[in-house]
Amino acid sequence: MAKLDIQIQKKKMIKPSTPTLNHLRTLKLSYFDQGAPRMYVPILFHYLPSSVGITERCDKLQKSLAEMLTMFYPLAGRFSEDEFSILCNDEGVEYVETKVNTDLAEFLHQGPKNIELLDDLLPTDLPSSPLLGIQVNVFNCGGLVMGIQISHILADGFTLGTFVKEWARISLTGMTKGCLPISFGGLSSLFPTRVQSGPQFAAPSNRDPNIVTKRFVFDALAIAKLRNRTNSSATFRRPTRVVAVMSLIWKVLVGISLAKHGHARDSHLLFPINLRGKSNLPSLEHALGNFYVTVVAALEANKSRKELTDFVSVVGGKTRDIAAGFSNANIDDITSACVTYGTEVLSKLGQKDVDNYPSTSWCGFPWYGADFGWGKPCWVSSVSKNYEGISLLDTKNGDGIEAWVSLKEDDMAEFERDPEILSSTSNRKLHLIPQGIDI
């Protein structure tokens, strides 16, 4: 399967089921929105065939999405010309339905091996520049894959997760009552945009043909072994699942860089930390929008970094610093700290002859609970990237981690055959089709 045979069946704008009130027609962006990458954030939800007909499923998705947009009304708007606010004008979100000329079982066996196949399941032709795009891909067997692209300027992982969770609940129950308290604008009132000078972060706009993305699965046993490898006498507590996996990947990448260049280079692992629940400000616990800080775990070239413990110490130490620094912070403290961290990130990204590895983790978000009325997803996946980086997602059972690694082709060849990666990752074949079920 070199390329998917996909035909667009329907393309339309979905608008809120009731017009947005006049006093909500303009949403100011926050300082955190201002610093978010100008890019769409993608995710795919894969569903096995259901007794619920395709027409009924698609109708249910459209209706519930329109109802959902009355609460997430900024997603149906457009950016203003100054890009400091959103015009909540109910222009709508892009909704696409496609027919995929293959069976889901065949695709699921191929998709993990050929990550680029997944890209075709996302809404990519978005001429109206919407803040949200949805593509519902229907396979010959009745299986369904829903691709979502959401503007990072308005949403981080928490906000996207909240949107999917509530949309699925409305679709499943047919009720809008009982939703989580949903409110936009809280962050912008506390953290308004600022006049910024100097270079700003921008995600690559063109695909680099030398970048390849591959998926590596760490099961529960492998993760437990990684966590147990750290020095028990160290001054830090046992690392989390995410810290252990991310530290190992970073360690391997540092080794590849050393072999390639013939000498050690400064190495930086960049990763975002969700700030919800980190401060004593209860109003920020469920804040929607972007509310995270990107930090840098740094290892200098002249420092010894041979053991996994060395990397865990740096990554874990950085996450603990954030927790300690924000626990009693007020609004001014948070703003000042985030400006400092942001300046450090831009400084590292601007350096030459160093290695920077952007990374993110969506572990812990309830992606596999997204039941729209025909069962929970059999797989929740990422897609390929056009820049070097690492993304982590939970496996379906919740105790493993899928690492989606994007590297230059020659570096990926070294990464794949690294002994520590080979011993820590299981067979990447997906076991998503229940035995006895013919799809």
Catalytic residues: 152, 371
Sign of the dihedral through C-alpha 299, 405, 263, 231: positive
C-alpha distances (whole Å) from 181 to each of 90, 104, 153, 240 are 21, 36, 21, 30
**171 near 61, Cβ under 8 Å?**
yes
| CB contact set of 266 (below 8 Å; sequence gap of 6+) | 298, 299, 300, 301, 351, 354, 355
Q: 3-class SS at 18?
A: coil
Going by C-alpha positions, the residue among 165, 103, 155, 164 that lies closest to residue 130 is 155
Structure tokens at 52: 């619920």
Burial of 300 by CB count in 10 Å (0-12 exposed, 13-18 middle, 19+ buried)?
Answer: exposed
Q: C-alpha angle with apex 77: 74 to 78, nearest 5 degrees?
A: 120
Half-sphere exposure (Cβ direction) of 352: Cα atoms closer than 13 Å: 0
| Largest interatomic CA distance in the chain | 63
Structure tokens at 395: 């496996």
A 10 A CB-CB count for 409 gives: 11
Tell me the C-alpha distance between 324 and 347, whole Å. Answer: 24
